[in-house]
Amino acid sequence: MDRQGSFRDGPQPAEFRRKLKLILAMACLAVFVLTARMWYLQVIKGDELRHRSENNAVRLRAIQPLRGLIMDRRGEVVVDNRASFDVLIMPARDFPPHMLARKVQEIYETRSVEFSPDQPLPAVFKTHLPVRLEKNISLEKVALIETNSVDLPGVYIGVTPVRLYVGGEIIAPIVGYTGEVSKAELDCGKGDFLPGDITGKTGLEKILDPYIRGRRGNELIEVNAFGRVIKNLGRIDPVSGADVVLTIDAKLQRAAWEAFAGRAGAAVAMDPRDGSILAMVSSPSFDPNLFNSGIAHDEWVKLQNNPLKPLSNRAISGQYPPGSTYKMIVAAAALEEGIITPETKVVCNGTFELGGRAYRCWKKHGHGPVNLHRALVESCDVYFYTVGRMLGADKIAQYAARFGLGDLTGIELHHERRGLVPTRDWKLARMKEPWQQGETISISIGQGFNLTTPLQLVQAYSALANGGTRWRPRLIQRVISPDGTVLKEFLPEKTGEILLSQKTMAHLSQALWGVVNEPGGTGAAARRPGEDVCGKTGTSQVIGLPQSEKARRSMKIADFHKDHALFVCYAPMKNPEIAVAVIAENAGGGGAVAAPVARKILDAYFDGIKQRQAIKLTGKDVSAGT
């Protein structure tokens, strides 16, 4: 420092100011660049980056609800739910799903486990929605995914409820099955569906889907860059679907199925007092559990191409000639129209001549002189050829319509068929040909153009049993919400009356009792001590046969061209509680084949009543352990 107090060797003021200005200029430039960049990111690109950031950090997971239970009339669960495990991938930019899928496959290969992708992965992914890689995987695969989770960022196990059909093929024609919502269902916009949602495809699962589907839940989760969950940001719990109580008795349903012993055909048991369906069997059937995880293509083709059509419900859509079960309706028409009296006799010598053609009776040498009662008891064809010719086709059709034949019964299921009650006008309109007298002879014994379903037959005989009321058949009692509130109740519904006099119904009922209980009755195999079973056998031809006895005997008939066996009955005679219709396809005579099946159904019903009464009195299940 000199005398003036200045530093000669330090920086001079002018130089210091220049350096300070340069530093300030550089700082201002840096602040400007930073501010401009922040403005660009926040204002110009703000929405895009905010959306990208949220999608990268937040994911929305759908939570599938439990479908409502389906129970029989006594509370036994016939359709339940079970857990299904799926492999899901949460897409992330650094871990493409295709790469993760390859890693999963490599991990499986180390344990010789088959890799079964649900479907080809899409080319474009939505980063906020998971992608399902596999569904309904085994517990072994669950363990492999969980133990290797560190190497599988964004891959996780999802739990989805799927149906458990406890009754399997026994109950399938009634309840149907579920499956993933189709593209067509998504496109139509009905039902608030998302891809992967489960919906009813057939049967009651489809019809009651709005009630039993439930409401989907959601959870909002935050994930890191590896797709792993950091925390749960919020959750809306799913709401379980409503439960359904059927009119079906599960034990009776199983008994009816077992009674068929593998034969093709159908059986329906109905309460004639209100139309409640107690059992409905269609054989062969299918296992609806196959559809839970998506049925394999070869299994689907096998079901579709099966000539016995296991996917159809024969009880409502199988159309068969009613055979001699139709004679009850012809008898009712003849009595009501005054064509005959109960004492009117016809001599049966084994054939009925008309126009140079001989129409045979099933009994080669005939029944001799028979009145209406014996004609029904022994199922004399010649008697009904004679009476049917006097009535005419149109008059027979009028009475068949009173019993509900030739029309839909109105049951809740889809794909019910109408059957056919032919008339002169129908043939002229359909075939452009006039009606022939010989065709009246054929329809008089339930052959020819006649077609009915098992459900129509049981409804017709139920109307006779209960005194004349035709009830709409119903499978559902009520639908109940998870909190126990009855959402909908299906009450008995009267759809018509058969309009027969009490005297006519009494004559018919007595004759049907004789079919089962009198000597010579064709339905003796359905006889049950203690209950007065009333019924009618039937045997319907599938193909026309030559009139010559020798030609008939020499003819080789394929199994699928053999006669159908039918039996329709109700019991007890006074105050009937159950009516049963059985059709065994290509099985032979109704008395020999169908009546024993009906007897087993009746046994299960009445023995079940006695068992429940014993439990009520003693408090002990006497059948336990047997």
Question: What is the gyration radius of the CA atoms in the chain, in angstroms?
Answer: 37
212 and 281 belong to one structural domain = no
Regarding predicted confidence, which is higher, 115 or 407? 407
Regarding predicted confidence, which is higher, 477 or 295? 477
Dihedral of CA 132/172/471/402: which sign?
A: positive
**Structure confidence at residue 3 as a pLDDT band (50, 70, 90):** very low
> Quick check: is 53 catalytic?
no
204 and 254 belong to one structural domain = no
- Predicted confidence (pLDDT) at residue 237 exceeds the cutoff of 80: yes
**Structure confidence at residue 151 as a pLDDT band (50, 70, 90):** confident
Q: Give me the CATH number covering residue 136.
A: 3.90.1310.10
Residue where a domain terminates, one of 246, 266, 292:
246
Contacts of 481 (CB under 8 A, 6+ apart): 242, 487
146 and 278 belong to one structural domain = no
208 and 299 belong to one structural domain = no
With H, G, I as helix, E, B as strand and everything else as coil, classify residue 569: strand
178 and 260 belong to one structural domain = no
The answer to whether residue 578 sits within a structural domain is yes
**Catalytic, out of 276, 283, 293, 324:** 324
51-106 tens-digit pLDDT: 555 555 677 777 889 999 999 999 999 999 998 888 888 766 667 778 888 888 88
The encoded tokens of residue 304 equal 């579709």
15-22 mean pLDDT: 75
178 and 307 belong to one structural domain = no
What strand order describes the sheet that includes 58-63? Answer: 58-63, 217-223, 229-236
For the chain, percent of residues with pLDDT exceeding 70: 87
**Structure confidence at residue 401 as a pLDDT band (50, 70, 90):** very high
272-315 tens-digit pLDDT: 999 999 999 999 999 999 998 778 788 899 999 999 999 999 99
3-state DSSP helix/strand/coil percent for the chain, to nearest 5? Answer: 40, 20, 40
Angle at 251 between CA 250 and CA 253, to 5 degrees: 60
Range of the domain at 107: 59-218+240-246
Residue where a domain terminates, one of 207, 227, 246:
246
- Predicted confidence (pLDDT) at residue 224 exceeds the cutoff of 70: no
308-346 tens-digit pLDDT: 999 999 999 999 999 999 999 999 999 999 999 999 999
The encoded tokens of residue 281 equal 């069997």
Would you say 476 and 412 are in contact if contact means Cβ atoms under 8 Å apart? Answer: yes
The answer to whether residue 51 sits within a structural domain is no
For the chain, percent of residues with pLDDT exceeding 90: 60
Regarding predicted confidence, which is higher, 568 or 191? 568
Amino acid at the residue 489: E
384 and 455 belong to one structural domain = yes
- Predicted confidence (pLDDT) at residue 432 exceeds the cutoff of 90: yes
- Predicted confidence (pLDDT) at residue 169 exceeds the cutoff of 90: yes
328 and 209 belong to one structural domain = no
166 and 302 belong to one structural domain = no
The helix-helix angle for 502-517 and 454-465 (nearest 10°) equals 120
pLDDT computed for residue 339 by the predictor: 96
At residue 309, φ and ψ (nearest 5 deg) are 50, 65
**Structure confidence at residue 410 as a pLDDT band (50, 70, 90):** very high
The answer to whether residue 447 sits within a structural domain is yes
The answer to whether residue 9 sits within a structural domain is no
514-550 tens-digit pLDDT: 999 999 999 999 999 888 999 999 998 874 545 555 5
- Predicted confidence (pLDDT) at residue 503 exceeds the cutoff of 90: yes
Looking at the structure of the chain, the number of domains it has is: 2
The answer to whether residue 599 sits within a structural domain is yes
User: What's the predicted TM-score (pTM) here?
Assistant: 0.84
pLDDT computed for residue 253 by the predictor: 98
- In this structure, the number of other CB atoms found within 10 A of the CB of residue 449 comes to 17
Q: Give me the CATH number covering residue 516.
A: 3.40.710.10
235-241 mean pLDDT: 90
292 and 188 belong to one structural domain = no
- Predicted confidence (pLDDT) at residue 418 exceeds the cutoff of 80: yes
**Structure confidence at residue 123 as a pLDDT band (50, 70, 90):** low
Strand pairing category for 243-246 and 70-71: parallel
Interatomic CA distance for residues 247 and 504, integer angstroms: 31
Which of 125-129, 172-176, 269-273, 532-536 has the least mean pLDDT? Answer: 125-129
The encoded tokens of residue 548 equal 């010559």
The answer to whether residue 43 sits within a structural domain is no
The answer to whether residue 454 sits within a structural domain is yes
Regarding predicted confidence, which is higher, 607 or 40? 607
**Structure confidence at residue 615 as a pLDDT band (50, 70, 90):** confident
Average pLDDT, the chain: 87
457 and 310 belong to one structural domain = yes
143-151 mean pLDDT: 85
Most confidently modeled range among 26-35, 110-119, 366-375 = 366-375
198 and 283 belong to one structural domain = no
**Structure confidence at residue 552 as a pLDDT band (50, 70, 90):** very low
The encoded tokens of residue 155 equal 């891959």
Contacts of 451 (CB under 8 A, 6+ apart): 319, 320, 321, 322, 419, 420
- Predicted confidence (pLDDT) at residue 621 exceeds the cutoff of 70: no
The answer to whether residue 433 sits within a structural domain is yes
